Structure 1
Amino acid sequence: MLPSTATPNVLIYVDHDSGKQYGYEDGWLAEEDELGPIFEYTGQGTSGDQTFLGTKGSRNAAVLYHAEAGRSLRVFMAEGKVPGAKSGAKQQRYIGEFALDPKQPYTVREAKDQHHKPRRIIVFRLRPTGEYQRLPKDLVRPAEVTDAQRVLATVAATKLPEPKKTTPKKVAPRQQRATESRRAAQPSSIAEHRQSQLRNEYLEELTARGHEVYAYQIKVAGTTTTLTTDLYDATEHELYSVRGESSREEVRMAIGQLKDYVRHIKPRPKLVALLPERPQDDLLDLLYAEGISVTYQDGNGYTRNPAR
């Protein structure tokens, strides 16, 4: 990726071959949602965890805050070598103009770095904002078999540390109208912040107890989407769903998430909903009816209500 110094754009160059050596593949997802198609693009950094911070993460931050800076994301796909070139340079095919997904700008996954060590990578979720090219060869290959892999517990994070936003760049009214609808929505709601904080604190709690904690990264046969679970306590063989509120909506979300993921993990783990406070009795009964235990924050500690 390359923030342009001459135009209000961030130029993103995608090469299927280069990504495969690091265990990931960029391109269109075969599945669409209510907002339409999604193009996945992995952030910059081939060694160690990818980041948004410092010099190492400056280009990733340029993508994250592209709308605030008045920039568009322009995506190009490598398309064979330049005829007659001796350097191995590749031709670039223009895919279209994009913006970050307003609901989920990026996900965090595990992949191997150039030294074959596991690390966290940033996978941006891009949405086309105008005309675009979506050829079959540009799609991410679907998984041949369902595979659930244990990965770093920190991969369960929904948000990574981000640099402070700078003063938005002033843009002409016409350009402003074009960018308002595609601002890079950040996962900054109170519930999401509490969810992230609770996940991190409980991970520290389990680690302090000497537990081995991971997450699962799941690829489902016939699909191109990668699912990432919340915390998995290998010591107790328990799979968690961490929520930022103890409301009915969030409890329902925890049930659906756990029931979806547990089908793919063998042997089947016990299920636990981790909540920031004690839910209503009716919601406790709902969780128990689904065979899900409840752990919630209680003062400076945690209270555990096992499924009946």
Structure 2
Amino acid sequence: MLDGLKPGEQLTRVELHRRYGCSTQGGIAPSNASKTVCFFTDPKTGHRHGYYDGWGADQLFHYYGAGQRGDQTLAGMNSAIVTHHDKGRTLECFRGSRGLVTYVGEFELVDFYFTDAHETSNPDVIRQVVVFKLRPLNEVNVDLPPLPFTPRLSAQVETVPIAEQHTERAYVSPDREPYEAELSEAKLVGRYCDYLQAIGHSVGRLRVLPPGESRPIYSDIWDCTTRELVEAKSSVTRDHLRQAVGQLLDYGRFADATTHAVLVPSRPRADLLAYLGAAGVCVIYPDGSGWKRVDNAR
């Protein structure tokens, strides 16, 4: 605990620097003068950097590391948290990032893991970041947000409604507006699901939280009746179809699927059909008011 400061008390970062030697800028601020590492969590500014700190179901506070661009490492300011115990420094938490901040209390490092986040002010660029799992050493009476999902040792798989229009990117960059391609895919998925339900199939989508990950991944369609895993794409370009195959392989590790299929707006050209066939992926596309299917499963 910081001498002369109680959890819930407020002070400016300038005053914090004067009293304890912590920098007036940055999310992680080590100080040799007071043998502390101060870290700052602020949802208002953190989300712009892709940082979504919060309490996990494990009762630990999950705190995103420093580094606004490119993959984060355990070097630089992040090393101050990793080595705080070995260097005899306490780890002190504040809510807020600049101006007036609120003292939360002392924490200790339990573990860390890596996950995906967008770059500062750029939700289109995804990078790997480090997340520290921190245990409070005092009662926390300052409001801090919860995590949507806490990393688990084993995969968690469940079927959710098609209407639950989440994507992996929605969890990495929840403030980002959907792309036109995503909206086109959603319309295609809606049309095909209407058809499946009209012929008596039960449909949903798989939400998978892989082991050790903090972000779920979502299939586009899970045909519960035939156990077919379907990934939709808004175009039949090579890049789109290669991406679809990779996604089906990823989801397929956690699903007992009988077949994999890609749902596209038109028939792919011959070489791409051959590629999908070699990958064991079927093709589904609209044909007037109906649907055509190319079964390429090996």
Relative to the length of structure 1, the TM-score reads 0.51
Matched, 1:220 2:217: no
Question: What is the one-letter code of the residue matched to 1:16?
Answer: W
Gaps of 5+ in 1: 1-8, 38-72, 81-97, 105-124, 160-181
- How big is the shift at 1:29? 6.8
Report SS of the residue matched to 1:245: coil
Larger Rg over CA atoms = 2
Looking at structure 2, the residues matched to 34 and 268 of structure 1 have their Cα atoms a distance apart, in angstroms, of: 38
Asked whether the equivalents of residues 69 and 120 of structure 2 are also in contact (C-alpha less than 8 Å), the reply is: no
Report SS of the residue matched to 1:154: coil
Gaps of 5+ in 2: 1-42, 47-51, 73-95, 106-118, 136-146
Specify the alignment match of 1:145 in structure 2: 154
- Label 1:34 to 1:221 Cα distance change in 2 as closer, same or farther (>3 A): farther
Give the 5 Å matches for 1:139-288. Answer: 141-158=150-167, 185-189=176-180, 191-265=181-255, 267-288=256-277
Q: How many residues in Structure 1 have an aligned counterpart in Structure 2?
A: 195
Looking at structure 1, the residues matched to 273 and 188 of structure 2 have their Cα atoms a distance apart, in angstroms, of: 19
Looking at structure 2, the residues matched to 144 and 158 of structure 1 have their Cα atoms a distance apart, in angstroms, of: 22
- Label 1:300 to 1:77 Cα distance change in 2 as closer, same or farther (>3 A): farther
Specify the alignment match of 1:16 in structure 2: 55
Looking at structure 2, the residues matched to 221 and 285 of structure 1 have their Cα atoms a distance apart, in angstroms, of: 33
Looking at structure 1, the residues matched to 177 and 199 of structure 2 have their Cα atoms a distance apart, in angstroms, of: 33
Looking at structure 1, the residues matched to 251 and 215 of structure 2 have their Cα atoms a distance apart, in angstroms, of: 13
Report SS of the residue matched to 1:143: coil
Specify the alignment match of 2:290 in structure 1: 301
Looking at structure 2, the residues matched to 205 and 77 of structure 1 have their Cα atoms a distance apart, in angstroms, of: 55
- Label 1:259 to 1:14 Cα distance change in 2 as closer, same or farther (>3 A): closer
- How big is the shift at 1:201? 1.6
What do you get for the CA RMSD once the two structures are aligned?
4.4
Which string of whole-angstrom CA distances, capped at 9 and with x for unpartnered residues, describes residues 56-97 of structure 1? xxxxxxxxxxxxxxxxx97999947xxxxxxxxxxxxxxxxx
User: Percentage identity across aligned positions?
Assistant: 25
Relative to the length of structure 2, the TM-score reads 0.52
Report SS of the residue matched to 1:199: helix
- Label 1:239 to 1:135 Cα distance change in 2 as closer, same or farther (>3 A): closer
Looking at structure 1, the residues matched to 269 and 97 of structure 2 have their Cα atoms a distance apart, in angstroms, of: 48
Looking at structure 2, the residues matched to 34 and 279 of structure 1 have their Cα atoms a distance apart, in angstroms, of: 37
Asked whether the equivalents of residues 15 and 77 of structure 1 are also in contact (C-alpha less than 8 Å), the reply is: no
